[in-house]
């Protein structure tokens, strides 16, 4: 009823004609809808948008002006790592596509709605209805009624609806607008594949920015001159940020708000992994950890636990078996949880079907583990993973060569564990070891820090089988150093002797002869303490190979002693190998005839024992003897035969040695320059892949061969 003094109207009123004594009734009937509005709710971009040109074109193709044959309403779901820039991407596309949606753009952020005890969809529908002119007083109470009203209100309009931060497909379906030409875009850390299967949604996964795009973000925030002035430091910052825009913006903000902080100083600070996430925080308010924490909070408890524990995993990639060992659960359960983490965009699958964290996600998972797991949890996890890899490496070692000398007694460990390399269709053992090389080395480092001495030296001993066939010299050296120290800490003299003698191999290949001799002298002393005859024979063989470099006469003595000890231990393969090295020493000393006899015997014995790799090395040595005897055809024939077997056995280091020998003979006998070049190129690739210092020598020689050919061409 009207109040003539205040002029206010409370409640509904309708104005009628004056009746009886000048009294007037004013009654206003409610309108369920406010005046029609054109919502424009998608947030504006406050920084320059860079890159993503190809991804924007994908959305244009799906939902742009020419959509012949497309459904009346478009549905798209964007996934990607937390902080990869999904919201900014949607805002950019909405801005450039404004003309496609003449009836407006609605934006709903689901993050703050998740605390509404399951009512987030109803709340979201309320936002949409209000944007379309429905007064809050007349919003229906039930979800079903709100859904129906939203369809009615959107049916005649061409709208863009953006749902930011969705984590369940069920949150999406009630919010699909009905108007032809409308588009619903969803962003999610998860992949929401169910929407594609059941609702025909188009799926787009955003990847981190590349180096160029990341540098452009820094240049936009810090200035192009600043990036140009500290280009190398800027590139290091980009690497630490891993292409995540959220990390780049925080790093840029730190630089902009602290004029005394240089890019070089910040890069040095972030180089330490233990403090990297803390360094990607602005006054504790805006941080990468907080962004990743939102995705972590959405995980089911079991998946969250696996996420935390994998933060402690020492390698960069892992499979379900390694994850199950890390968490202490069975492999099927681990695999199921890994896919939960993948669906949450916290894990990615590599090209070889393994799993990998983005570096910053890994650090966040580790941060969560440190905060939530028991204090002793880290060491216990490393022990479990170490046991897992020790068993697999031991099986791989035995699959390559069963009758190799080994100090570790792993019968108890291997008794009840399935051997994947013996199973039909199992992985090739050397290929598996090569794929796991960086993980095993990282595991050795961490296990050594945790004081797990015995399994460390056992793993290092088995791991060396890879390097006998693939010469990754730096990794081989480090793994054996870790193993030797662990054996000494465990007071295992036989193991220490074995590992120190093996260590002499990469040391000599790297030219560290004095260090190699010191390791061998320690190995001899440890072998004598152990009283292990076969081990003593092996150490003498390794010492002979050192003496080959500096004193051939002492090499012969060492090899003969190795043969004696192997005979005493009835190690017949050891006898054949020592015989091979004795023949090489005889040849080096100039006794070519005796060397040929000795090497033929070694080749015969090794072939009889089905040791094709060592037999091929003996054949290559026979080729060298023929060369010394002046029989070029026999020399090249023996070397070529050896190369074929060595290549089949993937003994690349020895293949390279034989290739260089063929190049030497070709050059000495005036053979074709292109043949010499091909031999040298083959050897150079092997040495470069293995990190051998011989690579530099071969590069210089190849340059000389190419230069000679050019001069010959000019002369002609």
Q: What is the CATH number of the domain that holds 642?
A: 1.25.40.10
Q: Are residues 188 and 262 in the same domain?
A: no
Find out whether 410 and 390 touch, Cβ atoms under 8 Å: yes
Determine the Cα–Cα distance for residues 28 and 11; give it in Å rounded to an integer.
8
Alpha helices in 34-105 (DSSP H): 53-63, 86-96
411 found inside a domain: no
Residues of the chain with pLDDT under 50: 1-35, 117, 710-716
pLDDT at residue 1, rounded to an integer: 39
Nearest to 186 by CA among 202, 198, 207: 202
Q: Are residues 133 and 241 in the same domain?
A: no
190 found inside a domain: yes
Among 567, 586, 610, the domain-final residue is 610
Convert 560-593 to b/e letters by CB count within 10 Å (16 or more is b).
bbbbbbbeebebebbbbbbbbbbbbbbbbeebbe
Q: Are residues 104 and 194 in the same domain?
A: yes
8 found inside a domain: yes
- 3-class DSSP assignment, residue 188: strand
Q: Are residues 555 and 601 in the same domain?
A: yes
Other C-beta atoms closer than 10 Å to the C-beta of 257 total 10
Nearest to 49 by CA among 88, 19, 84, 7: 88
Q: Which helix (H) or strand (E) holds 377?
A: helix 377-400
Q: Are residues 63 and 129 in the same domain?
A: yes
Alpha helices in 551-591 (DSSP H): 552-569, 572-588
Find out whether 209 and 51 touch, Cβ atoms under 8 Å: yes
Number of H helices, E strands in the chain: 33, 10
The token pair at 712 is: 């010959």
Half-sphere exposure of 706 (CA within 13 A, CB side): 9
Give strand pairing partners of 161. 106, 184
Q: Are residues 148 and 222 in the same domain?
A: no
Please name the residue that has the structure tokens 């504790």: 284
Backbone angles phi, psi at 198, to 5 degrees: -95, -25
CA 487 to chain centre: 30
Torsion of CA 513, 514, 515, 521, to 10 degrees: 110
Strands (DSSP E) found in 579-684: none
Domain that holds residue 604: 532-610
Determine the Cα–Cα distance for residues 290 and 277; give it in Å rounded to an integer.
10
pLDDT at residue 497, rounded to an integer: 97
pLDDT at residue 68, rounded to an integer: 63
Q: Are residues 691 and 569 in the same domain?
A: no
3-state SS of 453-465? HHHHHHHHHHHHH
526 found inside a domain: no
323 found inside a domain: no
711 found inside a domain: yes
Q: Which residues contact 621 (CB under 8 A, 6 or more apart)?
A: 580, 583, 584, 587, 599
Q: Are residues 105 and 187 in the same domain?
A: yes
Give strand pairing partners of 49. none
The token pair at 307 is: 């996420």
pLDDT at residue 44, rounded to an integer: 87
Q: Which residues contact 102 (CB under 8 A, 6 or more apart)?
A: 38, 158
Find out whether 133 and 34 touch, Cβ atoms under 8 Å: yes
pLDDT at residue 608, rounded to an integer: 93
CA 43 to chain centre: 35
Q: Which helix (H) or strand (E) holds 273?
A: none
668 found inside a domain: yes
180 found inside a domain: yes
Q: Are residues 234 and 102 in the same domain?
A: no
The token pair at 367 is: 């941060």
Helix pair angle (301-310, 331-343), 10° resolution: 90
Q: How many domains does the chain have?
A: 5
Determine the Cα–Cα distance for residues 130 and 528; give it in Å rounded to an integer.
88
Determine the Cα–Cα distance for residues 279 and 287; give it in Å rounded to an integer.
9
Q: What is the CATH number of the domain that holds 104?
A: 3.40.50.300
Nearest to 99 by CA among 66, 64, 74, 132: 64
Determine the Cα–Cα distance for residues 552 and 565; give it in Å rounded to an integer.
20
Q: Are strands 281-282 and 317-318 parallel, antiparallel or unpaired?
A: unpaired
Among 610, 644, 679, the domain-final residue is 610
Find out whether 592 and 627 touch, Cβ atoms under 8 Å: no
In angstroms and rounded to an integer, the radius of gyration of the C-alpha atoms of the chain is: 36
Q: Are residues 218 and 199 in the same domain?
A: no
Nearest to 151 by CA among 121, 125, 188: 125
Q: Are residues 95 and 232 in the same domain?
A: no
Determine the Cα–Cα distance for residues 364 and 441; give it in Å rounded to an integer.
23
pLDDT at residue 70, rounded to an integer: 63
Q: Are residues 76 and 200 in the same domain?
A: yes
Give the CA angle between residues 591, 596, 601 to the nearest 5°.
130
Among 579, 594, 610, the domain-final residue is 610
């Amino acid at each position: 009823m009207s109040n003539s003094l205040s002029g206010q109207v409370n409640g509904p009123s309708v104005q009628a004609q004056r009746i009886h004594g000048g009294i007037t009734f004013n009654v206003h009937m409610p309108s369920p809808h406010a005046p029609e509005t054109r919502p424009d709710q998608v947030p504006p971009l406050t920084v320059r948008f860079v890159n993503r040109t190809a991804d924007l074109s994908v959305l244009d193709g799906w939902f742009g002006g020419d959509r012949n044959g497309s459904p009346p309403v478009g549905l798209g779901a964007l996934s990607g790592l937390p902080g990869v820039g999904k919201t900014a991407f949607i805002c950019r596309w909405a801005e450039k596509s404004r003309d496609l949606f003449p009836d407006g753009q609605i934006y709903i952020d689901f993050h703050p709605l998740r605390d509404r005890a399951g009512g987030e969809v109803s709340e979201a529908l309320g936002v949409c209805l209000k944007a379309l002119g429905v007064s809050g007083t007349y919003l229906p109470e039930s979800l079903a009624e709100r859904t129906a009203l939203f369809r009615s209100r959107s049916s005649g309009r061409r709208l863009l609806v953006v749902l930011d931060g969705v984590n369940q497909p069920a949150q999406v379906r009630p919010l699909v607008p009905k108007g032809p030409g409308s588009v619903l875009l969803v962003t999610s850390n998860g992949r929401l594949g169910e929407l594609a299967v059941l609702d025909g949604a188009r799926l787009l996964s955003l990847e981190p920015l590349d180096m160029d795009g990341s540098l452009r973000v820094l240049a936009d925030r810090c200035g192009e001159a600043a990036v140009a002035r500290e280009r190398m430091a800027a590139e290091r910052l980009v690497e630490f940020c891993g292409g995540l825009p959220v990390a780049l913006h925080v790093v840029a903000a730190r630089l902009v708000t602290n004029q005394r902080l240089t890019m070089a100083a910040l890069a040095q600070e972030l180089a330490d992994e233990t403090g990297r996430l803390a360094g990607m925080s602005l006054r504790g308010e805006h941080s990468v950890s907080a962004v990743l924490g939102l995705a972590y909070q959405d995980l089911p408890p079991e998946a969250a636990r696996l996420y935390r524990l994998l933060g402690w995993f020492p390698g960069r990639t892992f499979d379900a078996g390694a994850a199950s060992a890390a968490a202490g659960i069975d492999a099927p359960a681990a695999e199921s949880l890994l896919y939960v983490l993948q669906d949450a965009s916290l894990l990615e699958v590599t090209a070889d079907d393994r799993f990998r964290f983005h570096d910053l996600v890994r650090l966040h998972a580790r941060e969560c583990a440190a905060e939530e797991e028991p204090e002793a949890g880290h060491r216990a996890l490393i022990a479990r993973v170490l046991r897992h890899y020790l068993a697999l490496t031991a099986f791989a070692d035995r699959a390559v060569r069963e009758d190799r000398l080994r100090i570790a007694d792993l019968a108890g460990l291997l008794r009840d564990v399935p051997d994947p390399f013996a199973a039909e269709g199992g992985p090739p053992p050397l290929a598996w070891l090569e794929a796991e090389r960086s993980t095993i080395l990282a595991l050795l480092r961490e296990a050594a820090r945790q004081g797990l001495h015995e399994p460390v030296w056992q793993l290092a001993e088995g791991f060396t089988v890879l390097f006998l066939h693939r010469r990754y010299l730096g990794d081989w050296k480090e793994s054996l150093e870790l193993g030797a120290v662990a054996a000494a800490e465990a007071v295992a003299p036989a193991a220490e002797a074995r590992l120190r003698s093996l260590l002499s191999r990469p040391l000599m290949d790297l030219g560290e002869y004095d260090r190699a001799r010191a390791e061998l002298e320690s190995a001899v002393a440890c072998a004598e303490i152990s009283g292990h005859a076969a081990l003593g024979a092996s150490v003498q063989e390794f010492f002979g190979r050192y003496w080959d470099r500096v004193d051939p006469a002492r090499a012969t003595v060492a090899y003969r002693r190795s043969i004696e000890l192997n005979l005493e231990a009835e190690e017949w393969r050891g006898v054949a190998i020592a015989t091979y090295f004795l023949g090489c020493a005889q040849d080096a000393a100039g006794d070519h005839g005796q060397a040929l006899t000795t090497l033929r015997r070694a080749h015969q014995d090794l072939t009889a024992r089905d040791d094709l790799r060592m037999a091929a090395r003996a054949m290559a040595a026979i080729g060298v003897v023929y060369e010394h005897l002046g029989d070029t055809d026999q020399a090249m024939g023996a070397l070529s035969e050896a190369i074929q077997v060595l290549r089949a056995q993937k003994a690349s280091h020895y293949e390279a040695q034989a290739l260089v020998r063929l190049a030497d003979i070709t050059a000495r006998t005036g053979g074709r320059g292109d043949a010499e070049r091909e031999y040298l190129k083959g050897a150079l690739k092997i040495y470069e892949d293995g990190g051998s210092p011989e690579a530099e020598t071969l590069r210089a020689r190849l340059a000389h061969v190419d230069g000679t050919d050019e001069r010959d061409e000019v002369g002609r």
